[in-house]
Amino acid sequence: MRVLIFSLLCIVLSPLLIAGVIIYTWRVRRISVRQNISGTANEPLGGRLGMHVAGTRIDEAAYRLAGHLPSYTKLSRFLLLDVLGFASKLSGFKGGFFAYPGERPSKLMSMMSHRTDFFDRSIRDSLSRNENPPKQFVVLGAGYDTRCYDLPKDLDIQCFEVDMAPTLNAKRKALELAGIPHDHVIFVETDFNQETWMEALLASGFNPNLTTYILWEGVTMYLVEKAVRDTLSLVSTLPRGSAVGVDFFSEDMQKGNGPYEKMSKAMHRGIRYYSESLIFGVPTGEQLSAGVESLARDSGLTLSRFEHTGSKEDKLPPWYFFAHIDNL
């Protein structure tokens, strides 16, 4: 019944939703892409915004930020997100896109909520531990992530956000316009495929002798394998107790092997919409985690937590993996 009510409300409100989609699409293609600002950064942001307006995962910083980004305005935020949130709350429908932490095993529609929940737990467990807690929090490929802006006020930690200059500059401008305090965050410009992010961090005041948590969400699939391996190798040079939260596509899905042909083509087309490309995926193996374990082990790291979308029993086996990797 809730799904039916939600669907009917969306039909009634469709003129507003369509207008919101048109404005958002125009701004992504005509502003973000043309200025080399990450388009894919809008995907996880959109997921968190959906959960926020539905009331399942509150992220006030993301909501405020979205009113001032190249891809959004306050008008399109209202037309697209607030209207969907209204329909969700009025109908009581919280499934799929709005769910948090979402169903398990997660499906395509609840993939983003699963990913968000995994990294929320990875960050929370690391930053709140009593023994050797991280003193530095680095967000690699930060995009429009807002986790540096809702940390506990008494937490003693230095935050760094690392990304390419156009995306970082757009985010900093949006933070200022939204009135979101960000003096505790150091913004570091780099290109993961061209230079060492560690060098850029060191030049910005990063201390390699302090225990560090690194969030590396939604990045590896756009990098060459060498850049992925180099990054993990750099993580291994940090003090014991440091960790990285990271996600991977499967190699089969990225290449369109086996049962993934149609999905892979659709995924590649979707990414090309943002003028970006899917480049890297990990092999799976019998245990699914074998490829990620091998990557971690090759760099002297340990895979401590591993989850994936879907189920082995599905017609389309798991293809998206979430990992918490420790330097023990």
Q: How far apart are the first and last CA of the chain?
A: 50
Backbone angles phi, psi at 178, to 5 degrees: -80, -10
Burial letters 40-71, b for 16+ CB under 10 A, else e? bbbbbbbbbbbbbbbebbebebbbbbbbbbbb
Is the same domain home to 65 and 150? no
Is the same domain home to 77 and 161? no
- Is 100 inside any structural domain? no
Helices (H), 151-287: 165-178, 197-203, 225-235, 251-255, 261-272
Alpha carbon distance 9, 169 (integer Å)? 38
Backbone angles phi, psi at 51, to 5 degrees: -65, -35
Is the same domain home to 52 and 148? no
- Is 191 inside any structural domain? yes
pLDDT value of residue 57: 97
Q: Which residue, 216, 211, 215, is CA-closest to 241?
A: 211
The string of DSSP letters for 127-169 reads: HT-SSS--SEEEEET-TT--GGGSS-TT---EEEEEE-HHHHH
- Is 35 inside any structural domain? yes
Cis peptide, bond prior to residue 101, ω within 30 of zero: yes
pLDDT value of residue 74: 94
Is the same domain home to 125 and 80? no
- Is 104 inside any structural domain? no
Query: Which H or E run contains 91?
Result: helix 83-91
* Domain count along the chain: 2
Is the same domain home to 121 and 204? yes
CB 291, CB 282: distance < 8 Å:
yes
CB 65, CB 146: distance < 8 Å:
yes
Alpha carbon distance 85, 78 (integer Å)? 9
- Is 241 inside any structural domain? yes
- Is 258 inside any structural domain? yes
Is the same domain home to 138 and 58? no
Is the same domain home to 116 and 71? no
pLDDT value of residue 193: 60
Q: Strand pairing partners for 10?
A: none
Backbone angles phi, psi at 234, to 5 degrees: -70, -35
Is the same domain home to 185 and 287? yes
Give the end of a domain, one of 34, 60, 92. 92
Give the end of a domain, one of 29, 57, 92. 92
| Strands of the chain, DSSP E | 136-140, 158-163, 185-189, 212-216, 243-249, 302-308, 320-326
Number of other residues whose CB lies within 10 A of the CB of residue 106: 26
Regions of the chain short of the pLDDT cut 70: 192-195
Domain of residue 190 covers 111-326
- Is 225 inside any structural domain? yes
Q: Indicate left, alpha or beta for 40 from its phi (over 0: left) and psi (-120 to 50: alpha).
A: alpha
pLDDT value of residue 91: 95
CB 248, CB 282: distance < 8 Å:
yes
Number of other residues whose CB lies within 10 A of the CB of residue 238: 24
Which residues 6+ apart lie within 8 Å of 316 measured at CB? 259, 260, 263, 310
Which residues 6+ apart lie within 8 Å of 152 measured at CB? none
Is the same domain home to 82 and 209? no
pLDDT value of residue 213: 98
Q: What is the pTM of this model?
A: 0.94
pLDDT value of residue 271: 87
Is the same domain home to 179 and 288? yes
Percent of the chain with pLDDT over 70: 99
- Is 223 inside any structural domain? yes
Alpha carbon distance 60, 48 (integer Å)? 10
Is the same domain home to 217 and 318? yes
Domain containing residue 233: CATH number = 3.40.50.150
Is the same domain home to 78 and 195? no
Give the end of a domain, one of 39, 63, 92. 92
CB 219, CB 161: distance < 8 Å:
no
pLDDT in tens, 31-90: 998 898 888 899 999 999 999 999 999 999 999 999 999 999 999 999 999 999 999 999
